[in-house]
Amino acid sequence: MSRPAWVEIDLAALQANYAAAKKAHGGRVFAVLKANAYGHGALACAQALATASPPADAFAVAFVEEALPLRAAGITQPILVLEGAFAADDVQLAAQHQLWLVAHQAQQLQLIEQHAGAPLHIWLKVDSGMHRVGFAPHDIAAAHARLAALPQVEKVSFLTHLARADELDTPAPTEAQLHAFHTATANLAGWRSISNSAAILAWPQAHQDWGRAGIMLYGAAPCASSTALQPVMALKSRIFAQRWLEVGDSLGYGAAFTATQRTRVGLVAMGYADGYPRTTPNGTPVAIDGHLSRTIGRVSMDMMTVDLTDLPGVGLGAEVQLWGPQVDINTIAAANNTIAYELMCHIQRVPRVYR
């Protein structure tokens, strides 16, 4: 690795977070690996979780193409396809590779009805109030009956997605969704799954047969919680050049920083092409050889600048942590008016180093 920019993935922390999700939920939990495991590398994460103690009960991905490399690499746990089938080929592949399919619209029911291959396990999605995808509660019984009548469907289960479970000071919408889901599925046989990460941590009344651990798996808590989660991803680089600014000197594109005192600047091999946000404001925390400092100047495509003025013993070659155990990714996300999910998923170009 010549350019000093990389992302460390702590697989032991990933395993510990899954164990925490299992303990908090009290039942079986899907480990969500969509979007290349939120930027962490789906295959490496799946292999670590499949052999962990406890091993993952099952995995979840967004679409069929995300599941196939896991099966090809020998992952044998159930894999739930959250977006379901987009075409008949998806249904065939799901049957061939023993994938569990979500059905959230009438067209997907038609694709399942047309399938003539190996039996399927279908998860019927209830629109309990998010109003993004899913069958309306009053249509669930009919959709369930339609699937249960098919010889190619061996099992039907139910899931829903909570829109505001992370808003602990606004419980009414989540309570309404729970009520809608339970009403829609009353007296219908099948597993239930309601809890996303926020609900696993903060809504015990949402705990059903299966939870779905997404962001918490990677160490970023989706809501205020006493559960200790370990950061899995650490985005790192090094200082590769340094210079001084005199009072009144401006730095970088747009003169986004102007020195009010003599300032020592460190150049870092990290930019928005690597996934660190261009919109990051002056003063956002970084850790340099373990010491907290701050960003200064605008983040460029391939490099960024940090303040070394108060770190006299730190210079060329010093390790810079952009986020990780010392710098909370949620802090970086908040500074950029976004969420940790987006930062993780935008990691690109830099190599992943697993430990």
Please state the residue numbers annotated as binding site: 132, 301
Give the separation between CA 161 and CA 198, rounded to whole angstroms: 11
Both structure tokens of 43: 């295959």
317 φ/ψ sector (left φ>0, alpha ψ -120 to 50, else beta): left
Give the separation between CA 45 and CA 136, rounded to whole angstroms: 35
DSSP assignment, residue 326?
A: S
Is 34 noted as a catalytic residue in this protein?
yes
Q: Could you say which of 34, 38, 272, 276 is catalytic? A: 34
Give, in order, the Cα–Cα distances in Å from 208 to each of 97, 265, 332.
26, 53, 33
User: Which residues are known binding-site members for substrate?
Assistant: 132, 301
Three-state secondary-structure class, residue 146: helix
Q: Could you say which of 18, 22, 38, 253 is catalytic? A: 253
Are 338 and 330 in contact by the 8 Å Cβ rule? The answer is no
Is 253 noted as a catalytic residue in this protein?
yes
Give the separation between CA 45 and CA 51, rounded to whole angstroms: 10
Residues classed as catalytic:
34, 253
